[in-house]
Amino acid sequence: MVKCIGVLTSGGDAPGMNAAVRAVARTCLNKGIEVYGVKLGYKGLHDGEFIKFDRHSTRNIINIGGTMLKSARFPEFKNPEVRKEAIEKMKEVGMEALVVIGGDGSYNGALKLTEMGINCIGIPGTIDNDIPDTDHTIGFDTALNTIVDALDKLRDTSSSHQRCTILEVMGRRCGDLAINAGIADGAEIVITSEIGYDENKIIETLKASKASDKKHAIVVITEHITDVHELAKKVEAATGFETRANVLGHMQRGGRPSARDRVLASRMGVYAVELLEAGKGGLCVSEVNGQIKGLPITEVLGHKRETDFSIYEDAIKLR
């Protein structure tokens, strides 16, 4: 029977992380399990930056973005000796198991600790929605709504000035944010790494839009594909559309979590504690067809998340 559990947030922050921390803390306390918050991710685990939670520690955080526990990059955690030092810090306060909220890099740390005898459960906290074998990650829905809100505003000014607007969004290797935002805001073109980047096709599509007497156009593109400002210059020169590029950036990570992210985070936090209480480790919590499940981290990290291209095909039909 586990008597003391820690919880940390690692990697990039995502709206809903606080709701997950709250769920872990409240579930532990309701079960009579001691619970500690670990500040600054794996760095705080190594340095012993722990907060013992009580009923009041997580009050009024469910609706706040970011992470109350803060986050930090700590590549040194890949070193087995550094992990051993972190385990010693955990033992000093009686911490026997850990809930890790973050992305694939955070999952790797959780797996390594489990292999060293500390049961860990991962919870997918990343706006990119790039974790395999879960329908949604915590933060994705909020980030998507932030993008749609920005596109709504850009559409207004794009229409007023009869412009083409190019918006670069986050997502790393996953195009879910771009594709879903493109559908939600009626974009003419969506570009992701999975779809591929064909500059000539982009220009030809926008030329056709201009020729059909469309007064404005929206292009949504995932980051790290091309320089969107250079693309805007090429589009303007080739199509006659006055074109502006915008990079939404880290604004997508902030803000109050949506109701969906709060509910998802809460459900996942509860289930993570239940898995540790059952003596399980090396698993991550996933949402599969609306059900919350625990899957082996080794399986999840063993392949790339597949983008649902039927969504993209729907977007094309709605042009």
Catalytic residues: 128
Gap between the Cα atoms of 16 and 77, Å rounded: 25
User: Please, what sign has the CA dihedral across residues 259, 264, 266, 267?
Assistant: positive
Q: Are 206 and 235 in contact (CB under 8 A)?
A: yes
Spatial neighbors of 314 by CB under 8 A, at least 6 apart, are: 183
Nearest to residue 71, comparing CAs of 95, 37, 40? 40
Gap between the Cα atoms of 255 and 47, Å rounded: 29
Q: Are 218 and 29 in contact (CB under 8 A)?
A: no
DSSP-based helix, strand, coil % in the chain, nearest 5: 45, 20, 35
Gap between the Cα atoms of 310 and 34, Å rounded: 46
Residue pointed to by tokens 């309701």: 30
Gap between the Cα atoms of 215 and 159, Å rounded: 7
Q: Are 202 and 235 in contact (CB under 8 A)?
A: yes
Nearest to residue 126, comparing CAs of 176, 88, 63? 176
Total residues found in the chain within this entry:
319
- Tokens at residue 91, please? 């033992």
